[in-house]
Amino acid sequence: MLINKKITLRSIWLFGKKNILQTLFLSTAVVVLYKFLNITEIAIPFLPVASIGTAVAFYVGFKNNQAYDRLWEARRLWGGLTNISRTLAASYISLIEDKSKQKDFLLRHIAYINIVRLQLRKTIPWATNKEDYHKQGVSASQEIREFDEAINELFAKIGKSEIFEEIKHKGNIANYVLKVQFEALTKLKKEKAIDEYEHSDMTKLLVELFNLQGGCERIKSTPLFRQYSLFSRIFVKLFILLLPFALLTDMSKFGTYGIWRVIPFSVLISWVFMSMEQIGESSENPFDN
């Protein structure tokens, strides 16, 4: 997600340079064939292509709305994790006077939140961007190794390296850490450090963390309908491919050099459509790495 107020020309160029160069080459080749080789048969009517463009714009717009809904839901869920974490920490500190127990509980919770973050940022096959923006030649085994190293480093920073050896083989490490938190609260209840009502209130907060984590994992593991993603890219590329041929007849009416207008207009229009497609695609997986 872009968070800067302004977008530089350099970032725009980097975002769309591949499509710009491809369209520049295609439209130039079409103009050369039409003007210098006199192959006028390649010109096609503009109306059918315009109809395709209108349909593609609606289709891409619908897909982008669906992608934004996923992004906004992910933001709401992560915000919930943040708020519940604050409430849980404040409740625990106010109820438990033992500083060592406070430290252990809060450090485990910090570890939990960061483990959720690392798990959500793992790459899964459907979520890998078609242009491979965020991954360059990273194998699955290498990513697993990087994940384990990040978890180990996390526990080392909070002084709990021994926990890593205990949990590294668990299927869902974050779930296991929450389970340990449940056990810690139950132990406090048995020790009469907290009463039943306090135990119930804090347990509800942990249950809510489970629910919010599950919501994040659902978004991560469930793709936007692949038909939307796949066919929107196909339709956009088909429109871009036909566009220079459809502009030939109209642009040739503007005098001797009018035909050259095909090139800049093809590049501009194709950049707009491909940018819309890429914006939606980059929002499909809100937890993309």
First to last CA, the chain: 11
Q: How many CB atoms lie within 10 A of CB 91?
A: 15
* pTM score, whole prediction: 0.78
Long-range contacts of 215-222 (CB under 8 A, 24+ apart): 215/73, 215/77, 216/74, 216/77, 216/78, 216/81, 216/116, 216/120, 216/287, 217/119, 217/120, 219/70, 219/73, 219/74, 219/77, 219/286, 219/287, 220/120, 220/122, 220/124, 220/127, 220/285, 220/287, 221/124
Q: Each residue's pLDDT tens digit in the chain (289 positions)? A: 555 667 777 877 888 889 999 999 999 999 999 999 999 899 999 999 999 999 999 999 988 998 899 999 999 999 999 999 999 999 999 999 899 999 889 988 988 998 898 888 887 665 555 444 444 445 556 666 666 677 767 767 666 656 666 666 677 888 988 998 999 999 999 999 999 999 999 999 999 999 999 999 999 988 777 777 788 899 999 999 999 999 999 998 888 788 999 999 999 999 999 999 988 888 888 887 6
What's the rounded Cα separation, in Å, for the pair 180 and 183?
Answer: 5
- Can you tell me the distance from the alpha carbon of 267 to that of 19, in angstroms, rounded to the nearest whole number? 8
Q: What is the domain partition of the chain in residue ranges?
A: 9-61+239-283, 72-221
